[in-house]
Every structure is written in structure tokens, then in C-alpha cells.
Amino acid sequence: MDNYTVDEVDVASTWSALQGNPRSQLVDVRTRAEWTYVGIPDLGTLGRRPVLVEWQTFPDQSVDPRFAERLANELQALGVQVDDDLFFICRSGSRSLAAAKAMAAVGYRACHNVSEGFEGPLDDDRHRGALSGWKATGLPWQQG
């Protein structure tokens, strides 16, 4: 049924790929509230910014039925081609995997899921951001 694949990559590999290939893109699919209150990856040293398109809307958390169309329009405006590497990130890797699969289904051939996400998994105290993920690894980020 599906003739596409989405691989899992860690945040360090994602950063290396973004540094090494100026055509690659980081797509943050979290909600506006998360971008504002938790922060966003900072790609300023690479001369670009992450593409911000919500997979689910806040506060109802329903999947945006126009996600693929909206993101395709954003990518097209940036000159992104269907073979360019797209790295999808969310809080911990679940929504971004679904979003990456949705874009692969509409023809983007190099979709990658950032498995650790921006904040990583919950620790023993049920807090995120300490065990793994973009922030815990020490990659650049900024408060929204």
C-alpha cells in the first residue's frame, strides 16, 4: 500500500545534516503554544529558520486536514524540491512521524523523523527536556 519510507534520525544526525546540506529543511510540527512557551530550534547560525506548520491545532488537538497542502505551499515558497531532505520534529517524535508520513504520501521522497523530538521523553519525575532531544543535547534554540 505505502511505497514510501520515513527513517528515524537522532537530533545530532539531524543537526549534522542541516549543517552539511543547505537544501535540507527542519519542519517543526508542534503547536503555536509549544513554539511560544517551550521554544523553537534556532537555525540562525545556518542562515535559515525552521519551517513551522502545526500538525494538530491547539487547543482541540485535531489533525489539520490541510497540513500537507499548507506545508507543501511553505516548502514551495522556499524553493524546496521533492528530493530535498526534510527533517520533521515535534515534542518527542510521535506527531512528527505522522507528519513525515503524510508528506511522503504526497510525493516528498526524503522525509526523516527526528525520533527524540525537541524535548525528548519523560524522566522519572515526569519532566521533559532532560534525557534527550534537541534542547537536552544542547543544540541551539530560542524562546518563542
Is residue 128 in a domain?
yes
pLDDT in tens, the chain (144 residues): 345 689 999 999 999 999 999 999 999 999 999 999 999 999 999 999 999 999 998 777 899 999 999 999 999 999 999 999 999 999 988 999 999 999 999 999 999 999 999 998 767 777 666 678 999 899 999 986
Range of the domain at 50: 7-142
Is residue 136 in a domain?
yes
Is residue 92 in a domain?
yes
> How crowded is the C-beta side of 104, counted as CA atoms within 13 Å?
22
CATH number of the domain within which 98 lies: 3.40.250.10
Q: What's the pTM value of the predicted model, to 2 decimals?
A: 0.93
The cell for 47 is 542562515
* C-alpha to C-alpha distance for 2 and 20, rounded to whole angstroms: 30
